[in-house]
Chain A
Amino acid sequence: MLEQLEGSRAVARTVALCRPEVIPAYPISPQTHIVEALSGMVKTGELAPCEFVNVESEFGAMSVAIGASATGARTYTATASQGLLFMAEALYNASGLGLPIVMTVANRAIGAPINIWNDHSDSMSQRDSGWIQLYVESNQEAVDTHVLAFRLAEELSLPVMVCMDGFILTHAYERIDLPSAGEVDGFLPPYEPRQVLDPAEPVTIGAMVGPEAFTEVKYLAHVKQMQALELIPELSAELAQALGREQHGLLRGYRLQDAETVVVALGSVLGTIEDSIDQLRERGIAIGAVGLKAFRPFPLEELRSALAGATRIVVIEKALALGIGGILAQNVRNAIATSSAQVSTVIAGLGGRPITTASLLGLFEDALGDRLAPLTFLDLNTELVERELARTRTQRRSGPHAENMLRDVGAIAAGPV
């Protein structure tokens, strides 16, 4: 049924339709609304049987999730930013043990400097943790992808992160078609675990493995994750049938017909990119986009064929790998290793800086005119950076960058003390 809903609320209601049996959670913006709503549904009995566990930290949340999932309970949690980092050790255990936990990451920047706004630094930092990572473009896609995620996780016995842009999606009210309980039940059968901790049939899970088999266990984990490259399109087609609307699969091309210049991105910025592309197409410019939904596993072959006609590739990413530049761009380069296409990396939207149509149009003009550097920071305030660099050159005790620059932009009124 069509409803006007907040993204977080829509995700919470969808997760409830997936009948999780254990939800351990610790609040952190911008995911708090999701688990808050779920805890309310558990309290009223609307979501039953389900145990909501208030834990003392994100490390605790993931540890309880591991325990719950190992006993055969369908398990869900959500986090963001530093919360995800605090989970890091347990994340590797969840994936290494093959536990099909589903987690929403409401994407947010990582400090220092402390920043509560959106970018992809958090989930990108855990890209090699063994979790499947799916990025969504809209709240409708967030809703549908959570249903897909439980089925995918449980079929492969692997954990899945659904990454949705914090605030931009979680706090946006828009028209959403929530699936019915019957539609979800038809697509998502009850959880049948591959391994289960049961006092009646005691087993251990989590053996220590030495050099004799460690590589093989890791190899199998890789093979298993790569199976998602086939399973995601299959399940997406089935879900599209069940819900009566298109599902993106591993990736989605936008106006790729004859496109010489192709923009590659993840998440909610794709909407603004598509609007910008429409404006350029009206002027007869051959430009298109690829929105990646699956980032782990990375769909090398599908991306290679989507980019087959491109001579210029502009990768827009909301995360920065310090010391090298782009993360997504490195992966895109792997996909087109034998192509002569030029790949430019554009770091944009860090710490919640809006990515505007005006900036994107300027960026694409630069790309079309072959004026784009291999690594560009969209809307970088060069003057601000230069002032701070000058300060560090001329003063030994130049002080902290963050405070200095805030003073320069007038965000804090006080002068140096």
Chain B
Amino acid sequence: MFRVRIHGRGGQGVVTAAELLSLAAFQEGRHAQAFPSFGSERTGAPVVSFCRIDDHEIRTREPVAEPDALIVQDPTLLHQVDVFGGLRPEGYVLINSVRSFDELGLGQWAGGFQRERLLTVPASDLARTHTGAPRANAALLGGLAALTAVVSLESVCAAIRARFPGALAEGNALAAQACFAFVAEEIEALAHA
């Protein structure tokens, strides 16, 4: 089973991101369960969502405490909420930021993990370029596809098109593609570093 936890703030599409990821996995014939951290969240309040992906029926209903992958949609949460709690040593991390781990004050922390699996991406910029708004949820899923291969970019784009209407879908699909390309390039660069 592959477990993903997504951190962000109310209004950033954190719950939609988990839904889209589950839809992408479903389209690949897999079982997927997406659900939000349940609460009376307001716009701007910290929000968490979860997605499990497996080849057979998923029965457990508990929140994901030990994720295989983390997406942090809002870097202002990094020092407010325990976003990295329970992350597996071989886990993946994707942070929406133009800064590096060192610049975010996470250089030392990152040492405990597989460095090539930890990336920051300018997902809000990519989303702004392609959709006109800095909502980075769909873009980051493109990045996750490149980082983990848990779902394909094609499935992410298909999920985006199934979920959003016309131009919004196309813009988000382009943002996801751009983020996929960015992450693929970063991984390549890290491999040759």
Contact = CB atoms under 8 A, between A and B. Distances in A.
Interface of A: 4, 6, 29-30, 116-118, 138, 165, 167-168, 171-175, 268-272, 274-275, 352, 354-358
Contacts of A167: 35-36, 38
A269 B61 contact: yes
Which 8 residue pairs across A and B have the least CB separation, nearest first?
A271-B59, A4-B26, A167-B38, A173-B34, A172-B35, A356-B62, A272-B60, A4-B23
A75 B50 CA distance: 35
A175 B31 contact: yes
B2 to A, nearest CB: 15
B82 to A, nearest CB: 13
B65 interface: yes
11 contacts: A4-B22, A4-B32, A117-B39, A165-B61, A173-B23, A173-B33, A175-B31, A270-B59, A271-B61, A272-B60, A354-B63
Contact of B34 (A116, A172, A269, A352): A172
B18 interface: yes
Contacts of B98: none
B58 interface: yes
Given A4-B22, A118-B38, A172 B33 contact: yes
B19 interface: yes
A352 B62 contact: no
A61 B26 CA distance: 37
Contact of B59 (A175, A275, A352, A356): A275
Interface of B: 18-19, 22-23, 26-27, 31-36, 38-40, 58-63, 65
B60 A173 contact: no
Given A272-B59, A272-B62, A275-B59, A352 B22 contact: no
A171 B38 contact: yes
B38 A175 contact: no
A129 B59 CA distance: 31
A116 B38 CA distance: 9
